[in-house]
């Protein structure tokens, strides 16, 4: 298979983990006889500094011409600490999602047996947790009408029936392939937008009689994820709720550095780790590359290259079992490995298989 990949490393630790993701992808393609070419493009704070736009037209063109995008992270403290800034790195991420029509964000949450102890939750609660959060990605407050002055501000949480239906169909498709349980998360007791979500979901549930559909307020869902994460199979929710809940979900696995994601929709799909740019760690060779590497596994699986994705997951699990880990998940007294060393170990494992 021929693959053309747009690589958007972005800011902070992005370039470091991106390098490892590309190395793993190259090794897998060589092993399975695929031809892969990379088109590198700028985004985020890096792009603002260079051209004044966090998602410039050349980057958009590279994404549209690619089969998939391997994205890393955007964000920089100099923008976070300036509430008056008119252009921000995160605007580039939102622009990418909107211009590529990436309305479905798929974030798996699962545990690794050898890292159960790293979760802040009790072993008996998190062991065996395995669910997917489907987050609507191009609607809601992130894209609704906005206003701000010195005295007031608002963000409009707008959703249409069509937007809700299409993301629910993604959720049902995943539920049918898994344990046939879909939880729709909303705040229908307070928000009009959530009441439309629930109305549409109840109507659609009759189309999927093989799937158990239930409904949960977002505050209850946040509590249930901590009390009983194994309850969930597929969770589908709106943009803001999904952003918050999936970060909470990272605690279940023990590190945000372990969780990949895929964003799919109308045009080129994007594969990325769920964590941010962690600018404080930039250049220190301590960032965990596993979420980026597992995003590569999701990329292969998107194109039905299951054996390729399986090998990457096997290599990641082998690295964890061998205690080849970056500092935040290393066992006490374990050897020191950095971003580059973990990536190189996984590449070597793949080449030897």
**270 in Cβ contact with 102 (< 8 Å):** yes
Catalytic site residue from 219, 228, 321, 348: 219
Tell me if 261 sits within 8 A of 298, measured CB to CB: yes
| 107, 261 Cβ separation under 8 angstroms | yes
**Residue 142 is a catalytic residue:** yes
336 is catalytic: no
Q: 79-85 contacts: CB < 8 A, separation 24 or more?
A: 79/45, 79/48
Q: Which of 103, 142, 172, 337 is catalytic?
A: 142
Rounded CA-CA distance 259/73 in Å is 13
Residue 247 designated active-site: yes
Which entry of 49, 58, 155, 247 is annotated as an active-site residue? 247
Radius of gyration of the chain (CA): 20
Query: Is 186 in the active site?
Result: no
- The answer to whether residue 187 is catalytic is yes
The catalytically annotated residue of 187, 208, 337, 349 is: 187
Q: Distance between CA atoms of 110 and 178, rounded to whole angstroms?
A: 14
Q: Count of alpha carbons within 13 Å of 340, Cβ hemisphere only?
A: 4
Residues designated as active site: 142, 187, 219, 243, 247
């Amino acid at each position: 298979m021929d693959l053309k990949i747009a690589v958007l490393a972005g800011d902070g630790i992005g370039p470091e983990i991106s390098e490892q993701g590309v190395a793993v992808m190259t090794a897998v393609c060589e092993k399975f006889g695929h031809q892969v070419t990379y088109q590198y493009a700028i985004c985020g704070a890096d792009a603002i500094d260079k051209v004044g736009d966090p998602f410039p037209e050349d980057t958009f063109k590279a994404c549209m011409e690619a089969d998939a995008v391997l994205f890393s992270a955007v964000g920089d403290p100099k923008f976070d600490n300036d509430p008056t800034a008119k252009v921000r790195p995160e605007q580039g991420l939102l622009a990418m999602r909107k211009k590529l029509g990436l309305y479905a964000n798929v974030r798996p949450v699962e545990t690794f047996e050898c890292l159960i102890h790293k979760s802040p939750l009790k072993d008996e609660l998190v062991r065996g947790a395995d669910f997917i959060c489907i987050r609507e990605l191009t609607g809601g407050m992130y894209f609704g009408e906005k206003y701000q002055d010195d005295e007031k501000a608002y963000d409009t949480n707008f959703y249409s029936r069509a937007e809700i239906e299409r993301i629910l169909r993604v959720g049902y498709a995943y539920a049918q392939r898994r344990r046939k349980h879909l939880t729709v998360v909303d705040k229908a007791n307070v928000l009009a937008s959530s009441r439309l979500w629930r109305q549409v979901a109840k109507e659609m549930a009759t189309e999927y009689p093989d799937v158990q559909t239930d409904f949960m307020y977002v505050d209850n869902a946040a509590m249930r994820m901590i009390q009983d994460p194994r309850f969930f199979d597929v969770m589908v929710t709106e943009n803001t709720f999904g952003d918050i809940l999936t970060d909470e979900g990272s605690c279940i696995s023990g590190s945000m550095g372990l969780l990949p994601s895929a964003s799919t929709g109308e045009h080129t799909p994007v594969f990325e780790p769920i964590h941010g740019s962690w600018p404080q760690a930039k250049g220190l060779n301590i960032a965990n590359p596993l979420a980026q590497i597992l995003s590569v596994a999701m990329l292969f699986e998107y194109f039905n290259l299951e054996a390729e994705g399986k090998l990457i997951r096997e290599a990641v699990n082998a690295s964890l079992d061998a205690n080849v880990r970056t500092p935040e998940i290393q066992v006490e007294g374990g050897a020191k490995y950095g971003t580059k060393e973990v990536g190189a170990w996984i590449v070597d494992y793949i080449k030897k298989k």
